[in-house]
Amino acid sequence: MPNPEANRSQNSRSRARPSTSAAPRQPVRARASLRQLLRVASVASGIQFGWALQLSLLTPYVQQLGIPHQWASIIWLCGPVSGLFVQPLVGHMSDRCTSRFGRRRPFIFVGAVAIVIAVVIIAYAADIGWILGDTATYRPAAITVFIIGFWILDVANNVTQGPCRALLSDLTSML
């Protein structure tokens, strides 16, 4: 024999009122304009262009300064070694940045300024070495200044590259 209590509880469940609260919505995000994407992408392409110029133009300059060929490969390790430490650190810091300019832009700006400083140091390494007492045949100061500028350039490129890629990712996730 059917249980009338069981039927009543099933009927009351099926006649339950629908919830008055609306389903949770995804937050509405503004779309990134093509102009904004192109500006950020131009920074990213500029960084890659800088890496290419560094490899193509600085190798002859290293030889002109008189750095032995076997030491040149050690100098070229600056980029990967600095990237191993700098990019994760800057990525961690930029993810938690609360600047009024955004999470990524302060790091891109600082990196860009450091790139300019490094390029000036590298460009004038021979002149700075001359001021510090180098001769035409013996240039330890110029080589030291060049290596310092080279390291600054590699670190600055890595400081700029990570946040720039993350900014592109942030902007394209809005589309």
pLDDT tens by residue, 56-78: 888 888 888 888 877 888 888 88
* Contacting residues for 163 by C-beta, under 8 A, at least 6 apart: 90, 91, 94, 103, 104, 105, 107, 108, 111
Higher per-residue confidence, 37 vs 141: 141
Q: According to DSSP H, which parts of 15-139 are helical?
A: 34-65, 69-76, 78-95, 105-123, 125-131
6 part of a folded domain: no
168 part of a folded domain: yes
At 80-91, the pLDDT tens digits run 898 899 999 999
Question: 10-14, 41-45, 146-150: lowest mean pLDDT where?
Answer: 10-14
20 part of a folded domain: no
26 part of a folded domain: no
pLDDT of residue 109 exceeding 70, the answer is yes
Query: Which band of pLDDT confidence, cut at 50, 70 and 90, is reported for residue 16?
Result: low
What is the predicted pLDDT for the residue at 100? 92
Q: How many domains in the chain?
A: 1
121 part of a folded domain: yes
What is the predicted pLDDT for the residue at 133? 92
Query: Which band of pLDDT confidence, cut at 50, 70 and 90, is reported for residue 111?
Result: very high
Three-state DSSP class for 4? helix
Query: Which band of pLDDT confidence, cut at 50, 70 and 90, is reported for residue 120?
Result: very high
pTM of the shown model: 0.74
18 part of a folded domain: no
90: containing domain: 32-172
25 part of a folded domain: no
